[in-house]
Structure 1
Amino acid sequence: MKILLMLRDAFYQANPKLIEDAKSMGEVRILYTDNGISKEELKNEVKDVDIIIVAVVKIDKDVIDAAPRLKYILKYGAGYDNIDVEYAYSKGIPVTNAPGVNAQSAADHAFGLMLSVARSIPKKDKEIKSGYWELSMGNEIYQKKLGIVGFGSIAKAIAKRATGFDMETIVYTNYPDEIAAERLNVTFVGKEKLFQESDYIIIATSLNDKNRHLINKSTLSLMKPTAYIINVSRGSLINEEDLFNTLKNKQIMGAALDVFEMEPPINDLPLLENIVATPHIGGATYESIGRIGEVSISNIKKMLNGEELDYVVLPKVRI
């Protein structure tokens, strides 16, 4: 059994147990992919593998066709938009993920980004390290209106944290969970109402063909000039050119992004003064990576033993 690991570079050091456990079940090959990997190189790497464990590298039809021995694809995380699930299933290859396992880490990061952009924390830290000391004004999040796009595990964890700041939370989703909403004191609203009324908007929904560029010139124009937008989900949910122009013209107060359409980003969006940016680290905690590793190893053992897999991903569309 040959297992190919394609994770974020830091994940290997953060969770060496994953590699040790995987080696106990077969031959393991490790790829370091943070600096990118060409399609041809990737196709060559997969030609003799049985199992792929992948974080963000794109596993499309061409890659699957280049792997005639491939029996199983594991997404090392929750969002699986980088995997052509439908084509994998047409070839009899199951795909699994680890839903909700990194929700607490991502929710923590969402609040960290929200606080950072509202109080200009990264900017002030950089100034004071350079010997520059100046008071500047910021905005509270206490008792402000929080709008969340999506209502999956990450969004629910964000809503729970919002109660500690006495925020009024509204949610836009096509899949309302009324029981969770009552528990978390959440109100479901339409998309326009959420963008019009929110002081802070956090994007926490999965990406699919129907919601690509959900946040664009039209939706951004609905926002208050004092509002902020935060994205901890997928970069392609936002039209980055529209966001760049909105921020450059100071039509909204600011943005905080953990994700981009191209990673690393190739545009000037992260360079704007009214933006806080991080390199897709929302789920990158030792605790989260350890839990995902446990789910992955458990599922590999089940596959080898012919048992039913956990968290099987089926082609579907949701927000």
Structure 2
Amino acid sequence: MKILAALPNYSLYCAEAKRYLQEQGCEVIENETKGPLTFGQLSGLVGDVDGVIAGVDVWDERLMELAPKLKGIARFGVGVDNIDLEAAKKRGIQVCNCPGINTESVAEHALMLILSIMRYFPVLNQAAREGRWPRVMVRELRGKIVGLIGFGAVARNLAEKLQPFGCRITAYDKYPDEMAAKRLGVEMCGLDKVLEESDVLSLHVPALPDTYHLLDEKALEHCRDGVYIVNTSRGTIVDERVVYEGMRAGKIAGYGSDVFETEPVTAKYPLFEFDNYVCTPHTAAESYENYAQTGMATAQALLDVFAGKEPKNKLV
């Protein structure tokens, strides 16, 4: 069987998984670029592949038509908004993802962004490197109200990490896990209450039609003046135009994001004009530990598909 590992640096960070696949008689074709593959690049690779380990590359019906042998797509991560599930189902292509594995890495990243925007870390780091010695007053995270929008695995992990800071933690989720909330000392609330009371908001919902621009102008009006906001979920959860206006007006004291409405961004991205904006290029899940574990999980999923077994975390 031939497998396309579409994410970059597969041999470097998933060496064990690649070796495992090869031991099972699979040929592994790799993404030799430094970023996501475009449709044009993918179209020249998929003609005879049996399985795909997908990163953030887009797998739509147009591309699937060019891959008549494709039997399975294993998403190297959780979100599958880049995969047309209906088209896959129609073509008998099994799709699965890897929930829970990247939880630790993404939760750590979210905490890093929270602390970075509250303590102006990038600005002060750059000033010191340039020989400047500015005095900047910051707000401590200790004792603040942190609102989690979405209470899945990453949010629950973040709630654990916030406990030593003495934060009061609230959360909104369409399908609340009351037992986990009780265990973690998290108060489950309606969305409006979380927005209205939080000093810090951290977003943890998937990209779905009903979460598109969940943080819009109306939602921001509910927020406290001087709220800090962090997004490590998906860029489309936030209306970036509204965030820009909120930053400009001082309604938002700081915004940290690992994701963007359109990726990758350019040097002219509007939010770059704000010193209290901190971002990373969609790297929250990119830890050695996560890649090793997810590499093995996606490899096993495709081998299960090839063997006629149902892969773990099958979506279609």
TM range (shorter): over 0.9
Give a deviation string over 1:275-306, Cα, whole Å, max 9, x none. 11111111111111111011112222322322
Residue 270 (str. 1) matches residue 272 (str. 2): yes
Structure 2 equivalent of residue 98 of structure 1: 98
Q: Offset of 1:22 from its aligned partner?
A: 2.8
TM-score normalized by the length of structure 2: 0.94
Residue 292 (str. 1) matches residue 294 (str. 2): yes
Structure 1 equivalent of residue 196 of structure 2: 196
Give a deviation string over 1:242-301, Cα, whole Å, max 9, x none. 111111222221100011111212422234212111111111111111110111122223
Q: Which structure 2 residues correspond to residues 175-194 of structure 1 after superposition, within 5 A?
A: 175-194=175-194
Counterpart AA for 2:13? A
Give the counterpart of 2:308 among 297, 306, 309.
Answer: 306
Contact 1:171–1:186, Cα closer than 8 Å, also in 2: yes
Contact 2:71–2:94, Cα closer than 8 Å, also in 1: yes
Give a deviation string over 1:14-47, Cα, whole Å, max 9, x none. 2322332333332221114554544233223212
Structure 1 equivalent of residue 21 of structure 2: 22
Counterpart AA for 1:21? Y
Structure 2 equivalent of residue 13 of structure 1: 12
Contact 2:229–2:256, Cα closer than 8 Å, also in 1: yes
Counterpart AA for 1:221? E
Give a deviation string over 1:127-147, Cα, whole Å, max 9, x none. 111111122111111111010
Count, aligned residues: 313
Q: Offset of 1:228 from its aligned partner?
A: 0.4
1: CA distance, partners of 2:270 / 2:18: 37
Contact 2:6–2:37, Cα closer than 8 Å, also in 1: no
Range 241-250 or range 145-154, more displaced: 241-250
**Structure 1 residues 265 and 144, CA gap change in structure 2 (3 angstroms):** same
Give a deviation string over 1:99-120, Cα, whole Å, max 9, x none. 0000011001100100000000
2: CA distance, partners of 1:209 / 1:27: 37
Structure 2 equivalent of residue 222 of structure 1: 222
Q: Which structure 2 residues correspond to residues 1-319 of structure 1 after superposition, within 5 A?
A: 1-7=1-7, 9-10=8-9, 12-24=11-23, 25-32=25-32, 34-266=34-266, 267-314=269-316
Instruction: Please provide the CA RMSD for this pair.
Output: 1.5
Q: Offset of 1:85 from its aligned partner?
A: 1.3
Q: Offset of 1:168 from its aligned partner?
A: 0.8
Structure 2 equivalent of residue 317 of structure 1: none
Range 145-154 or range 220-229, more displaced: 220-229
2: CA distance, partners of 1:252 / 1:210: 24
Q: Which runs of 5+ in 2 are unaligned?
A: none
